[in-house]
Amino acid sequence: MFAHYVSNRRIVAVLIMAFSSGLPLALTGSTLQAWYTNAGVDILTIGTLSLVGIPYTFKFLWAPLLDRFIPPFLGRRRGWLIVTQLALCLSLLVLTFYNPFTQSKMMGVIALIIAFLSASQDIAYDAYRTDVLLPAERGLGAAALAFGYRMAMLVSGGLALVLADHIGWKLTYQFMAGLMFLFSIATLFIPEIKNDVSVPFSFIAAIVEPFKNAWNKDRIILILLFVVLYKIGDALALSLMSNFLLRELAFSLTQIGLTFKTVGLLATLVGAFLGGIILTRISLFQALLWFGLLQAFSNLMFMLLALVGKNEILMVSSIFIEQCCSGMSTAAFVAFLMSLCDTRYTATQYALFSALAAIGRVFLGPMAAVIVEHIGWAHFFGWTTVACFPGLIILLLLRNRVREHVEAMA
């Protein structure tokens, strides 16, 4: 499997662009949350900050534009990638001119713009990945996505905290803007898509046909419910993680950042590679089920941490287990989403499915803050485990439908 990562240009391109796609997420999520916390902003404002992720939920609304129109350079997929990457670089630089304590609303607006651009980059990247990979490569591609995306989140969500502790928040975000610029250069050299299908003949067709095609899929209602619920417990558990570790347990920015950078990196490597290997040996249904169960019970580690209190060994163990299990479940989940897409409408359909999957991450922040204030952290993490099971129950009802997707990927 390692040889595939090194020698297959398509897999390498998917890995590199996954890093670019994942980098902005924490910068408008947990890292920005930590910046607000460090500046003394109240918890309800921090919880509301998660709403800047709304574009990730509604990105399917403008995804047809990326299916229908082609930039004058680099083609339909790579062209949109470089446009969004350069815009993200500029927006991250603008964010550094503001102070979260005195200008929290304005920073929230800029963060919303960054989230919109990041969601647009995700649209282009998801379409590129789905179109450039051969059907037999989707399992490895999903593992490359999980690895690259979580590596990016370790940099923007872990290394960024360490940097902020030593050089300040403004320089840290300027450094992240520089990384985005480097990825825009990398986009010039990734492989082109062979046998790219023709674009929709009109803008109306680009809007209507992808949704009509998706709606006509067998058992679509259950499929959509599964997409929404599969990772909702994991999203709920992580929605206020920075606040939990910083304010409740009083870990330092450096402690948290180094843990994500070292232990989190190792866990991501293990989870991504193990998930990719297992996906080539068992059915997609089995992978979704077993990885989903591991994902659910990994949340109990944070419940234990909340009960025990500040304990660095337990904190490290909790993060390792969560990162590893989540990486494995993400690999299987992404392989399933790719199998749902028609190559004529990849951008729009993948945006729709991934936007539904992002509902939990975007809208649960305010709810999580209220729950924590009423029942405490330990009970909160217990309920996040329970929240994982509705999705797994729906998966059992979709057993035969998932098997059909496995055959389509063969």
Average pLDDT, integer, range 299-307:
87
85: pLDDT strictly greater than 90 = yes
Least confident interval from 66-80, 95-109, 198-212: 198-212
Q: What is the pLDDT of residue 275?
A: 80
45: pLDDT strictly greater than 50 = yes
Q: What is the pLDDT of residue 221?
A: 83
Q: What is the pLDDT of residue 152?
A: 87
Q: What is the pLDDT of residue 357?
A: 79
**SS3 state at 73:** coil
Q: What is the pLDDT of residue 409?
A: 46
Q: Per-residue confidence at 84, pLDDT binned at 50, 70, 90? A: very high
Q: Which of 228 and 101 is assigned the larger pLDDT?
A: 228
Q: What is the pLDDT of residue 323?
A: 82
High-pLDDT (> 70) share of the chain, %: 88
| Complete DSSP assignment for 282-345 | S-HHHHHHHHHHHHHHHTHHHHHHHHH-S-HHHHHHHHHHHHHHHHHHHHHHHHHHHHH--GGG
Cα atoms in the Cβ-side hemisphere of radius 13 Å centred on 174? 8
Cβ–Cβ < 8 Å for 18, 228: no
Q: What is the pLDDT of residue 91?
A: 93
Q: Which of 354 and 385 is assigned the larger pLDDT?
A: 385
203: pLDDT strictly greater than 70 = no
Considering the chain, what is the average pLDDT of its residues?
Answer: 80
119: pLDDT strictly greater than 70 = yes
The CA–CA distances, whole Å, from 377 to 56, 309, 360 equal 27, 11, 18
Q: Per-residue confidence at 263, pLDDT binned at 50, 70, 90? A: confident
Cβ–Cβ < 8 Å for 244, 377: yes
247: pLDDT strictly greater than 60 = yes
Average pLDDT, integer, range 289-300:
89
Average pLDDT, integer, range 52-63:
81
Q: Per-residue confidence at 204, pLDDT binned at 50, 70, 90? A: low
Backbone angles phi, psi at 392, to 5 degrees: -70, -35
Least confident interval from 13-17, 30-34, 403-407: 403-407
Q: At what angle do helices 160-167 and 253-279 cross, to 10 degrees?
A: 160
Average pLDDT, integer, range 272-282:
78
Average pLDDT, integer, range 194-206:
61
Least confident interval from 77-91, 191-205, 230-244, 257-271: 191-205
Q: What is the pLDDT of residue 4?
A: 47
The C-alpha atoms of residue 187 and residue 206 are separated, in whole angstroms, by 25
Domains contained in the chain, CATH given: 2-409 (1.20.1250.20)
Average pLDDT, integer, range 310-323:
84
At 19, list the tokens.
């890093």
218: pLDDT strictly greater than 50 = yes
Q: What is the pTM of this model?
A: 0.69
